[in-house]
Structure 1
Amino acid sequence: MGLLKIRTAKDIVFDTFVIVFMLIIVILTLAPFWFSIVGSFNSGLDYLRGGVFLWPREFTLSNYKAVFSDITIYNAYIVTASRTVIGTITSVLFTAMIAYGMSRKNLKFKGYYMIFMMITMFFAGGLVPTYLLYQKLGLLNNFLVYIIPALFNVWNMIIMMSFFRTIPETLIESAKMDGAGEYRIFFSFIIPLSKPVLAAIALFNGVYHWNSYFDAMMFTTDKSLQTIQLFLMRVVTDASFAHSMGAQAAALIPEQAKQISPETLKLAMMIATTLPILVIYPFLQKYFVKGVMIGSIKE
């Protein structure tokens, strides 16, 4: 029978302080997101009066109807979803293969490889050399510009390598004695045993691909390759773009024209681009917590 811990006055005060402090942090974190949701469901003209914080004063769906009345957003969603799925799968697989090789004790010149990779974490060629390199490789205005440059990340490789080193060496030796080669070992044993770290790295890559807009802005001019985040950036930063969206929506929905404003359109666009990744996150959270703890505890 376990011993009951007696809570002292100091314990109660400390726990109360921690709870109150964490509640404040949660409120400060969620408040901007909640205000954006409230504003996106509020009438545009009424929102300009101010004072809309806790709930919509004049509820309307016109802002979302305006956002999704532009067919460009659907193509942007398809491009973003495609690069997120393809980019995440290829990056996790490619990085895992390199991490597995680097985790093997018998890999020759492993120290030199690590030095070369670590250098790339601190030094880069810069924007102009990168642009010229992509131009020579034929990646400009090419969907692969979203995939190939993001195939490998040194930090993700280090996290994976740390996890692979925790897998018993006897398991790999047993597989080799049964005639399994390195590829068979990797795909049949290493990958199934590495779900926590793979899920964590997949989440890192997925969020990166979904939120990325700079590569689309710098290396593509074809509107068919526009990502949802680049579309959002134009709505938020370019007032004329938001006005044109509002005018287009007003032409399609004349009776709701007064319910739309550039500010509420921006808020609705923010929620529309953020919601998908928020829906996916809870399914990967348990793996994410395990993955980020890798290497933090040494036995």
Structure 2
Amino acid sequence: MILFKRKTAGEAIFDGLNGLVMLLVCFVTLYPIWYVLVHSFNNGTDAMQGGIYWWPRVPSLDNYRAVFENTGIMKAMGITVAKTVIGTAAHVFFTSMVAYAFSRRELVGRRAYMMLGTVTLFFSGGLIPTYLLIRDLGLLDSFWVYILPAMFNFFDLIIFLAFFREIPAGLEEAAKIDGAGDFTIFCRVVLPVSMPVVATIALFHGVYQWNDYFTGMIYINNSDLQPIQTFLYRVVAQSSSNQMLAAAPGGMAKNVTSQSIKLATMVVTTLPIVLAYPFLQKYFVKGFMIGSIKG
């Protein structure tokens, strides 16, 4: 028989207050998103009158038509998808390969490499030296500026390293007996048994690549190479929304405003990753737990 302990008055009050505080935090967090969503589906001219808080007063899809009829946002979406897929694959493969080398006890200078890598977790060269390096490498106004500088991250290496150290040494020894070299062992033995950490790092870096606007803002002048988040930044912070409004068809222009186009653009650019995140949450939690408990 399971006996339930009766709560004291103090515990009941604490639980009630705790629940109210959590509800308030959820409301403060979610309502701005709902507010943007409601206004993006409302007639832009009508929304300028104010008074819309919970539901669209004059529902309209013209804001989204104005966004999707703009060729710039479609190009930016394609760049973002391409750099997210290619950048994530390159980052996972290269960082995991370096981490596997670090996990080998016979690696000469491993302690020195770890010390140098640890320094990079706290200090960086700064924006100006980094920009000069990118320029000298010929990566300005190049798609590869999204890929090459982000191929390696020492924090992700630490996560990979903690997982690789838990792999039984017998697996690698059996592969060596069969004549496999280090690279073959890494590709055909280590990576297949490391899919949990591979998925975790892929999600970490994929979200970073999707949300990154700073790289496109600093290193890209060619509008055909800007990602969706940089496009969103320019729509919100500059006059791009007015240009989209001017380009809207006559029958649509009277129903949209620069503000309503901004809100619709924000929804379009953030919706894919917002919808994907709930399905990926368990991998993020598992990624933080890798290597935290030793048997």
- TM class by shorter chain equals over 0.9
- Worse-superposed segment, 44-53 or 149-158: 44-53
Please give the alpha-carbon distance, in whole angstroms, between the structure 2 residues aligned to 1:290 and 1:227. 29
Q: CA deviation at 1:173?
A: 2.2
Q: Is the 8 A contact 2:67 2:264 kept in 1?
A: yes
Please give the alpha-carbon distance, in whole angstroms, between the structure 2 residues aligned to 1:69 and 1:40. 16
Please give the alpha-carbon distance, in whole angstroms, between the structure 1 residues aligned to 2:105 and 2:14. 47
1:164-175 pair list within 5 angstroms: 164-175=164-175
Please give the alpha-carbon distance, in whole angstroms, between the structure 2 residues aligned to 1:149 and 1:71. 28
Indicate the RMSD between aligned Cα atoms, in angstroms: 1.8
**TM-score normalised by the chain length of structure 2:** 0.92
Residue of structure 2 in register with 1:66 after alignment: 66
Q: CA deviation at 1:46?
A: 1.7
Q: Between the two proteins, what is the percent identity of the paired residues?
A: 48
Residue of structure 2 in register with 1:100 after alignment: 100
Please give the alpha-carbon distance, in whole angstroms, between the structure 2 residues aligned to 1:110 and 1:247. 59
Q: 2:281 aligns with which of 281, 285, 298?
A: 285
Please give the alpha-carbon distance, in whole angstroms, between the structure 1 residues aligned to 2:201 and 2:3. 39
Q: 1:291 to 1:171 in 2, by over 3 A?
A: same
Residue of structure 1 in register with 2:251 after alignment: 255
Residue of structure 2 in register with 1:86 after alignment: 86
Q: Is the 8 A contact 1:80 1:227 kept in 2?
A: yes
Q: Does 1:265 align with 2:261?
A: yes
- Worse-superposed segment, 41-50 or 11-20: 11-20
Please give the alpha-carbon distance, in whole angstroms, between the structure 1 residues aligned to 2:3 and 2:176. 51
Please give the alpha-carbon distance, in whole angstroms, between the structure 2 residues aligned to 1:98 and 1:43. 53
Residue of structure 1 in register with 2:7 after alignment: 9
Q: 1:155 to 1:294 in 2, by over 3 A?
A: same
> Residue deviations 1:230-249, cap 9 Å, x none?
111111011x3212211211
> Residue deviations 1:87-145, cap 9 Å, x none?
00000110111111112222221110011111222222222221221121111111111
> Residue deviations 1:150-200, cap 9 Å, x none?
000111111111111122222222322332222222122221222221112
Please give the alpha-carbon distance, in whole angstroms, between the structure 2 residues aligned to 1:148 and 1:159. 21
Q: Is the 8 A contact 1:44 1:260 kept in 2?
A: yes
Q: CA deviation at 1:44?
A: 0.9
Please give the alpha-carbon distance, in whole angstroms, between the structure 1 residues aligned to 2:254 and 2:207. 35
**SS, match of residue 221 in structure 2:** coil
Please give the alpha-carbon distance, in whole angstroms, between the structure 1 residues aligned to 2:128 and 2:214. 14
Please give the alpha-carbon distance, in whole angstroms, between the structure 2 residues aligned to 1:95 and 1:137. 21
Q: 1:185 to 1:12 in 2, by over 3 A?
A: farther
Residue of structure 1 in register with 2:241 after alignment: 242
Q: 1:4 to 1:106 in 2, by over 3 A?
A: farther
**SS, match of residue 161 in structure 1:** helix
Q: CA deviation at 1:42?
A: 0.9
Q: CA deviation at 1:291?
A: 1.6
Please give the alpha-carbon distance, in whole angstroms, between the structure 2 residues aligned to 1:287 and 1:192. 17
Q: Is the 8 A contact 1:216 1:227 kept in 2?
A: yes
Structure 1: which amino acid aligns with 2:204? F
Q: Is the 8 A contact 1:197 1:292 kept in 2?
A: no
Equivalences, count: 293
Gaps of 5+ in 1: none
1:15-164 pair list within 5 angstroms: 16=16, 18-164=18-164
Q: 2:272 aligns with which of 270, 276, 282?
A: 276
Q: CA deviation at 1:278?
A: 2.0
Residue of structure 2 in register with 1:190 after alignment: 190
Please give the alpha-carbon distance, in whole angstroms, between the structure 2 residues aligned to 1:179 and 1:21. 61
Q: Is the 8 A contact 2:204 2:284 kept in 1?
A: no
Residue of structure 2 in register with 1:208 after alignment: 208
Structure 1: which amino acid aligns with 2:252? Q
Q: CA deviation at 1:18?
A: 4.9
**SS, match of residue 254 in structure 2:** helix
Q: CA deviation at 1:43?
A: 1.1
**SS, match of residue 58 in structure 2:** coil
